[in-house]
Amino acid sequence: MEGIVTVVILLLLNLSVIVILNEMIQTNPGLQDGIFIIKRSVFIGPAHYQLWSWENIFIALMIVFDVGVVYWRLIRRYHQMQLRHIIGELHYIANGHFDHRIPFTLKGDTQRVVTSVNSLVDSVISSIEEERRIEKSKDELITNVSHDLRTPLTSIIGYLGLVEDRQYHSEEELLKYTNTAFNKAKQMKSLVDDLFEYTKMRQTDTPLTIAHLDLTQMMAQLAASFELEANEKGMTLVTDVGDEPIHIEADAEKLGRVFNNLIGNALKYGGDGKHIYLRAKQLSDREVAVSVENDGSKIPEAALGQVFERFYRVEESRSKATGGTGLGLAIAQSIVSLHGGYIYVTSDDDLTRFVIHLPIKNGDRLKRPDVKN
C-alpha cells in the first residue's frame, strides 16, 4: 500500500516538474538555443547517436530516481516491520514465556539485535534459575539446621527438666542427667561451629593466610598427632610422602582442618579396617596430590556422589553413634576450592581414597578432569 501511494505521489511530482520545466523552456528562447547547441555537439557511442529530446532524458532520470525512492521506502518499511515483529516477540517473552526465543533469522544488524536479545534472555533465565536454586538451598539449609538442633535441644530440655523437678534418686543419677545434657549441648555447639565454618568457607572472597608450607612435614605431624587414637582403635597410620620436601603456598590452618577431617573420618568410619595411609606427591611444577586412604568398608556406590553435599551422611553412619554433622566434607571441599584445587573420592573393597589436588602457587587454579565424584 505504502509502495503504491509513494509511486502515485512520485508520478504527480514528476508530472508537475515536467510541466514547470516545459513552461520555462517554452517561454525562454535563450534556454531553447542552449539546449539545441548541446544536443548538436554531444554524440553517444561509436555510432554517434545524438541525444534524444530533453524530455526523454529527463524522464529516464526521473524513472531511476523514482525506483530509488520506492526501493528506499520499501526497505525502510520492511525494517520497521521486522522491528515491530521483534518487539512483539519481546512482549511475548516478557509475559512469562521464558522458554521462547526469537525464532527468525534476519540479515545484518537486525540479526545481531535478535542474537543479543536471545542470549540476554538466556542469561536472565539462567540467573533466575540460579537465584531459585540458591533460595531453595537456603531453605533446605534452614530446615536441616533446625532439625539437627532440635533433636539435641529436646534432650537437653528433657534432662534438665528432670533435674529441675528433682526427679532423680541419687547424686549419680543427677550426674548422669547433667552429663547427657552437657554432651548434647556440645553436639549442638559443634554443629553451630561447623555451620559457621561452612558458610564462611562457601564465600569465594574468604581471605586465606598464605604461607610456604612443606606437605611432607605436615603429613608427618598429622600422623604423629593421630597415632595414639589410631592405635587405640587397632589401626596403623602409614605415611607415604617420599624423602624430598614438597613445598606449596597455602593456608596451613585451613588445610590442616581438611586433613584433620579426612583422617578423623577414616578413624570414625573405617574402624573395621587396619590401615590409614597419608600420601603426598608432587605431580608437576604446578600441582601436588595429597590423599587420605583407609581400608575400612567401602562407601556404597550410590553415596559416592553425595558425600561432599552438606548434611549428607551415608545411611549406615547415621545409625552409628559417630556424632557427625555431615558438614565436614562440604567444608573440606570449600577450603580446597578456595585454594584453587579440587577433591574427589573413590571407594572399592580394598580402599576408600579421598584425593586432593592443589596448585603449588597461590592464585593458580587447577582444572578438574572428568572424575566421577
326 neighbors 311 (Cβ within 8 angstroms): yes
Does 341 bind ligand ADP (CB under 6 A)? Our answer is no
Query: Which C-beta is closer to ligand ADP: that of 102 or that of 327?
Result: 327
Integer Cα distance of 5 and 20 in angstroms: 23
Instruction: Write the DSSP string, 121-140.
Output: HHHHHHHHHHHHHHHHHHHH
Residue 190 CB, nearest approach to ligand ADP (Å): 9
What part of residues 296-335 is at the interface with ligand ADP (CB under 6 A)?
A: 296, 299, 307, 312-314, 317, 324-330
> What is the sign, positive or negative, of the torsion defined by CA atoms of 299, 303, 309, 311?
negative
> Residues near 172 by Cβ (< 8 Å), separated by ≥ 6?
none
Does 187 bind ligand ADP (CB under 6 A)? Our answer is no
Query: Which C-beta is closer to ligand ADP: that of 73 or that of 275?
Result: 275
Integer Cα distance of 53 and 210 in angstroms: 93
Task: State the helix-helix crossing angle for 2-26 and 29-41, rounded to 10 degrees.
Answer: 100
**Binding segment for ligand ADP among 15-23, 61-69, 116-124, 294-302 (CB under 6 A)?**
294-302
Burial class (CB in 10 A: 0-12, 13-18, 19+), 324: buried
**Binding segment for ligand ADP among 4-12, 85-93, 223-231, 259-267 (CB under 6 A)?**
259-267
What part of residues 350-369 is at the interface with ligand ADP (CB under 6 A)?
A: 352
Does 340 bind ligand ADP (CB under 6 A)? Our answer is no
Query: Which C-beta is closer to ligand ADP: that of 216 or that of 317?
Result: 317
User: Which CB contacts under 8 angstroms, 24+ apart, belong to 112-117?
Assistant: 113/86, 114/86, 117/86, 117/89, 117/90
**Binding segment for ligand ADP among 98-106, 121-129, 292-300, 358-366 (CB under 6 A)?**
292-300
What part of residues 270-289 is at the interface with ligand ADP (CB under 6 A)?
A: 270
Does 117 bind ligand ADP (CB under 6 A)? Our answer is no
Does 269 bind ligand ADP (CB under 6 A)? Our answer is yes
The candidate with the shortest Cα–Cα distance to 320, out of 249, 370, 271, 259, is 271
Interface with ligand ADP by CB under 6 A: which residues? 261, 265-266, 269-270, 294, 296, 299, 307, 312-314, 317, 324-330, 352
